[in-house]
Structure 1
Amino acid sequence: MPQVKAPIVTYSGINQKVEFKDPDATLLDCSIINQIPHMHECGGSGQCTTCRVRILEGLQNITPRTRMEKETAQLRKWDPSIRLACQCYVKDDITIQRLVWNSTEINKLQLETLPEGTAEERAIAILFCDIRGFTKIASENKTFDTAYILNRFYTVLGDPILINNGVIYQYVGDEIIGLFGVSGGMQNKNCKDAVRAALGMQYAIERLNRLELIDFDTEIKMGIGINFGRAFVGHLGHPKHKQFAVVGDPINTASRIQGFNKEAGTNLLISESVHKGFPKNTLNLGKKYSNQMEGHEHETILYELIGFKEMDIQLELQNSLDYLLRNEDEFAEKFYNKVFTKSPQTRELFKNNMQSQGRLLTHMLGGIVYSMSRPEFLELGLKSLGKSHARYGVMEEHYPVVLESLKETIKEELGELFTERIGKAWEQALIDVTTEMKKYASIK
């Protein structure tokens, strides 16, 4: 009897072809088995949409949408070519394009759930961040250098917004605006995400000044204001040119809070509504201000924010992640060398391309840190990781070796940036992650 030819899956973005050998595996499984990084924040359970792909060729060669997938596609107004990789199976050759390449793109997906042509009231936290003295910076540098400085400012200060489940709403000259909770969420969660983002921005700007802008003889200073309240959020505008918009007093107030930093001589101010979003004695606060904002008949209470009173693990991980993975291949090579030295028999588990395996490792590590701001998906993702590692032959006794090797590699890669505080944060996070994954170490 002639052998049936296995379907070929072509990944357009990386021009890679792989055989789809297991008819019981999903398209997402195919990526994972072949060491192709493929976002799946909820672990491939259909609860999120990060594994989405566009079928460029061969749409007829995959199974129809499941009921769950139909509901998602209808809500987000997808055309038939967009599919959830975790929900479809391949019957013959297809060509696909992964639509979410990294964790920073996930936040944009929140905007798909917003109404078209109308606006819905949502309780959101709003963050305004402004460069201080930008006119002077522009006058003292060439146009090209000024554009470079401004682009680096947007990048390093945009990342803390994105890693904390926020959406970058606008760039207005030398100002960046972040929104937290546009797709819903509780006051405490949205306010904590915004505060963590603001503190991450302070760390990012300090490092930008120290490591990158020193050659320009320029130091960027900034002011940040955070407010919380109910605003109208949606896609508004001309029927042929609608765009995401936020309307309401809370966003105007956030802008004025940011501006009040100049008068108060502070760098980071939060409103009373943000302060109320935290349990007592959570935040380390400085001075308290009472100010009548323009357009308000009442006094607005503001607090200078210094930081969290207790160590915030997510903040410490976020502040070190981009530097830690600045050279992903180097990080992975160091890690696996340590694993193989401590446990030589584990080398047998890695029979494929180690460079691809290394990129999967760093993809996974970064994804876990980003997923911490979306805890509803983190546990599902770790469950999936634990099961997939078990299928590869990873046993419970391998986890201590992995944990120790990761800790050592992180310390080496951070170098002078490594502190006892960062070390404790990574150790606790890695313990929590590996403990959750070990629950599935015996599942094959």
Structure 2
Amino acid sequence: MPEVKNPIITYTGISQKIVYDDADSTILDCSIANQIPHLHECGGNGRCSTCRIRILEGHSNLSPRTLKEQQMAEFRRWDPSIRLACQCYVKGDVDIQRLVWTSSEINKLQLETIPEGEAEERAIAILFCDIRNFTKMAIENNTFDIAHVLNRFYTIIGDPILFNNGVIYQYIGDEIVGLFGISGGTREKNCRDAARAALGMYYAIEHLNHMELVDFDLRIKTGIGINFGKAFIGHLGHPKHKQLAVVGDPINTASRIQAYNKEVDGRILISEAIFKSLPEGTFEIGREFTTQFAGHEHNSKLYELKGFQETDMQLELQRSLEYLFTNKDEFAEKFYTRVFEKAPGVRALFKKNMQDQGRLLTHMLGGIVYSLSRPEHLETGLAFLGKSHARYGVTKDHYPVVLSSMMETIQEQLGDECSPKLIEAWEKALLYITNEMKKYTN
């Protein structure tokens, strides 16, 4: 009889081929088993769409869409070539493309929930961030330097928006606008996410000034304004050129709050609507202001946001990632060296390329930090990881070694940036993560 060949899955973009040799495994299972980073925020349960793939060749060689997948495809208006990797089983050779490469791209998926044509009213938090004295900076520096600075600026202040389940709405010259809650969420959560993003921006700008802009003899100063309210959101415009539009007084007011920073020489100002959306004692507040904006018949009370009164775990984790992952391969190598020194028998569990394993580690860790702003998927995601590790031979006895090795590596990588708040945040987060994963091991 002729030899029966196992199907081949080809991953375009990374030019990697893997043999599909387990009929009970989904494409997502195969990715993880072969150390290919593949986002799966809900843990491969068909509840999110982060593991989505595009089928380039071999569409007929896949199992039909499950009910979960059909519902997702209809809601998000997918064409037949887009599938959920966690719901696909392979019957023959397929060529696929992962469509969500990084955790930061997850937030953009919220845009699929925005209606076409007539806008819907949604309660959202709106953040405006502006570079101060940009015109003077542009005149005094050459075009290439300014372009470089702007690109770095947009990257480091855009990340806190994406970290906190926000969407970058638009860039307006030297200004960036973020929206929080366009696909739902409670008022308290959306306002906390926006405030955390603003504080993350502040810390990122300070880091940029002290580390990268010294050689340019530049110092960036920003003004941030945050407001909350009901605005109309939709894809509007010419039938052949529709784009996301947000209309309403709350967004205009957020812009005016940001501009008011110039008058009071402030950094982050929040509206009374933001301030009252969280329990009393949440925010560390500085000065308070009362003003009347153009077009308003009422006075607006504004608060200078200095921080959170209690340690905000997510903020501390987010602001430390850039330091930790400056060199991801180095971070992973230090971690696994510690693990193997403490538990030499664990080395036998890693039979494949350790460099690929290290990249999978940092991909997973970064993904978990991003997922903290979407807790509805975090528990199932950690369950998936716990079950996967159990299949590889990880036991409950291994987790204390993992925990201590990870904390030691984090403290070494952070160096002078290490603070009691950061240590407290990472210890709390890692304890929660490992306790959740341990539930699925022997």
Q: Which band: TM-score by shorter chain?
A: over 0.9
Spell out, residue by residue over 1:220-243, the C-alpha distance to the aligned partner (whole angstroms, 9 max, x if none): 000000000000011000000000
Structure 1: any 5+ residue segments left out of the alignment?
none
SS at match of 2:345: helix
% identical equivalent positions: 68
Q: How many angstroms apart in 2 are the aligned matches of 1:277 and 1:214?
A: 39
1: CA distance, partners of 2:380 / 2:297:
48
- The corresponding residue for 1:337 is 337
Q: TM-score, normalised by structure 2?
A: 0.99
Number of the residue aligned with 1:29: 29
C-alpha separation between the residues in 1 aligned to 2:386 and 2:315?
25
Deviation per CA, 1:300-321: give whole Å up to 9, x if none. Answer: 1111111000000100000001
Give the SS at the match of 2:280. coil
- 1:421 matched residue in structure 2: 421
Match of 1:184 in 2: 184
- In the other structure, the counterpart of 2:293 is 293
Give me the whole-angstrom Cα distance separating, in 1, the residues matched to 2:75 and 2:365.
31
What residue in structure 2 maps to residue 140 of structure 1?
140
| RMSD over aligned Cα atoms | 0.7
**Distance in 1 separating the partners of 2:330 and 2:86:** 31
Question: CA offsets per residue over residues 257-280 of structure 1, 9 Å max, x none?
Answer: 001111122111000100111001
Q: How far apart, in 2, do the equivalents of 1:402 and 1:5 lie? A: 39
* Aligned-partner residue type, residue 5 of structure 2: K
> What residue identity is the alignment partner of 2:387?
K
Alpha-carbon shift at residue 3 of structure 1 (Å): 4.5
Query: Aligned partners of 1:136, 1:341: CA distance in 2, in Å?
Result: 55
Q: In the TM superposition, what whole-angstrom CA distance separates every residue of 1:174-208 from its partner, at most 9, and x where no partner exists?
A: 10000000111110010000000000000000000
Shift of 1:431: 0.6
Give the secondary-structure state (helix, strand or coil) at the position aligned to 1:306. Answer: strand
Amino acid at match of 1:319: R
Structure 2 residue ranges without an equivalent (≥5): none
Amino acid at match of 1:13: G
Q: Residues 33-79 of structure 1, C-alpha deviation per residue, up to 9 Å, x if partnerless? A: 11100000000000000000000000000011111111111111111
| Equivalent position of 2:372 in the other structure | 372
- Aligned residue in 2 for 1:196: 196
- 2: CA distance, partners of 1:75 / 1:429: 33
Q: Give distance in 2, aligned partners of 1:302 and 1:441.
A: 51
Equivalence for 1:207: 207
Number of the residue aligned with 1:280:
280
Q: Secondary structure at 2:206's aligned position in 1? A: helix
Alignment of 1:141-180 (within 5 A): 141-180=141-180
Please give the alpha-carbon distance, in whole angstroms, between the structure 1 residues aligned to 2:279 and 2:115.
33
What is the CA deviation profile of residues 78-137 of structure 1, one whole-angstrom value per residue up to 9, with x for unaligned ones? 110000000110000000000000100001100001110111000000000000111111
Structure 1 ranges of 4+ moved more than 6 A: none
In structure 2, the residue matched to 1:351 is 351
Residue correspondences, number: 442
**Corresponding letter in the other structure for 2:428:** Q
Q: Report the alpha carbon displacement of residue 2 of structure 1 after superposing the two structures with TM.
A: 4.9
Q: In the alignment, what sits opposite 1:82?
A: 82
2:130 is the counterpart of 1:130: yes
Residue 254 of structure 2: aligned partner = 254
**C-alpha displacement of 1:4:** 2.4
The one-letter code sitting in structure 2 at the alignment partner of 1:87 is Q
Query: Aligned residue for 1:118?
Result: 118
**For 1:278, what is the secondary structure of its paired residue?**
coil
Instruction: Write out per-residue CA displacement over residues 315-353 of structure 1, whole angstroms, 9 at most, x where no aligned residue.
Output: 000000122111111100110000000000000000001
1:423 Cα deviation from its structure 2 partner: 1.1
Give the equivalent residue in structure 1 for 2:92.
92
One-letter amino acid of the structure 1 residue matched with residue 35 of structure 2: Q
Q: Distance in 2 between matches of 1:326 and 1:368?
A: 18
Query: Which residue does the alignment assign to 1:234?
Result: 234
- Partner Cα distance (1:102, 1:380) in 2: 19
Q: Determine the C-alpha separation between the residues in 2 that align with 1:203 and 1:244.
A: 29
Q: Name the structure 2 match of 1:269.
A: 269
Counterparts of 1:137 and 1:394, CA distance in 2? 55
Q: For 2:257, give the aligned amino acid.
A: I
Opposite residue 411 of structure 1, the aligned amino acid is Q
Structure 1 CA distance, aligned partners of 2:395 and 2:234? 48
- Distance across 2 between alignment mates of 1:194 and 1:208: 21
Using the alignment, how far apart are the partners of 1:417 and 1:30 within structure 2? 38
Q: Distance in 2 between matches of 1:43 and 1:203?
A: 32
SS at match of 1:44: coil
Q: For residues 71 and 239 of structure 2, what CA distance do their matches in structure 1 show?
A: 25
The aligned counterpart of 1:396 is: 396
Alignment correspondent of 1:65: 65
Q: How many angstroms apart in 2 are the aligned matches of 1:86 and 1:117? A: 32
The CA deviation at 1:416 is 1.4
Counterparts of 1:137 and 1:21 in 2: how far apart (Å)? 59
